[in-house]
Every structure is written in structure tokens, then in C-alpha cells.
Amino acid sequence: MKRLYRLINVIVILPLLMGMSNLGGESPARIPVPEKKFKAAFIDQTDTYTDVSEASIDGHAFLAGKKGEGNYTVAFENIHYIDYLMKNDILIAQIQMRDGAVLSLTVKKNSHAFGKTSYGTFQIRLADLKRMTILGPQK
């Protein structure tokens, strides 16, 4: 009878333990790689500057957000830089386009920017950024 209980415990508990191997978080050593690769520079809220390659926002080479009731995606090719501003717990992305136009979008504050540095990987919440400058496509 004890063997049966042990066997049932193993069958029930083992899958749960295997599912906890990453505890639901993404490994900081692994970042999403976007289809199109860009170099970027990040300045966070503490004025720390970081240059990266393979820059992305949530794994994509574009910024997604809302303006009014519309949903926008703005490709990195068109962006010169993005200033982030938290206002009443809403994150605003002020986008300076390469053609000189300015576009403001409401973006998800828990989205992440990613990239690779010369010494490892980089990730940061958009809410923790002050500015993201798109330096150009990677060759």
C-alpha cells in the first residue's frame, strides 16, 4: 500500500517540479532576436547609457502603442529616437521620426527592450527608460 502512495506522489509531483525549472521567468542570458537587426542606445532613468546590437522591443523591430482608439506599430527604420514619460501611471512614448515628424503613443509600461552588449545581454522595462535612440540597421 505504501508503494502505491509513493508511486501516486511521484506521478503527481514530478510534472509540477519539472514545470518549475524556469519559474516562469525568462533567463537573462537569452533574449528574443528580432527578424531585422538594429543598433540602439538606451538611457535609463538614472542616466546610464548602454549601446546594444540586435535591439528590440518585446522581440520586435518596431514600437507598438495606441493613439486615441487606434493601434499603431512604428518600424525602427522610421524612428530616430523615443523619449519615455510616465504620466498618471500611463507610459507615453514621444517618437521623433527620421523625417522630422513627432508622434506620441501610449505604450505598455511592462514591455521590455532587449539587446546584446559587448559583454552580454541587456533588458529593461520601457517604464525604466528615459530615451531609446535607433542608431541604424546592423550589417
126-137 tens-digit pLDDT: 999 999 999 999
Q: Does 25 reside within a domain?
A: no
Tens-place pLDDT, residues 63-95? 999 999 999 999 999 999 999 999 999 999 999
Predicted pLDDT at 139: 80
For 105, counting Cβ atoms within 10 Å of its Cβ (0-12 exposed, 13-18 middle, 19+ buried), the class is: buried
Q: Does 76 reside within a domain?
A: yes
Q: Does 2 reside within a domain?
A: no
Predicted pLDDT at 5: 57
Among residues 72, 113, 80, 85, the alpha carbon closest in space to that of 96 is found at: 80
Q: Does 33 reside within a domain?
A: no
The pTM of this model reads 0.77
- Judge whether residue 26 has pLDDT over 50: no
- Total domains, the chain: 1
Q: Does 32 reside within a domain?
A: no
Neighbours of 137 (CB within 10 A): 12
Predicted pLDDT at 13: 60
| pLDDT tier for residue 3 given thresholds of 50, 70 and 90 | low
Q: Is 53 helix (H, G, I), strand (E, B) or coil?
A: strand
Exposure on the CB side of residue 57, measured as CA atoms within 13 A? 27
Q: Does 30 reside within a domain?
A: no
Q: Does 22 reside within a domain?
A: no
Distance of alpha carbon 133 from alpha carbon 36, whole angstroms: 16
Tens-place pLDDT, residues 37-53? 999 999 999 999 999 99
The range of the structural domain enclosing residue 73 comes to: 38-137
| pLDDT tier for residue 31 given thresholds of 50, 70 and 90 | confident
What's the rounded mean pLDDT across residues 55-68?
96
Which residue type sits at 40?
A: A
Contacts of 44 (CB under 8 A, 6+ apart): 50, 124, 128, 129, 130
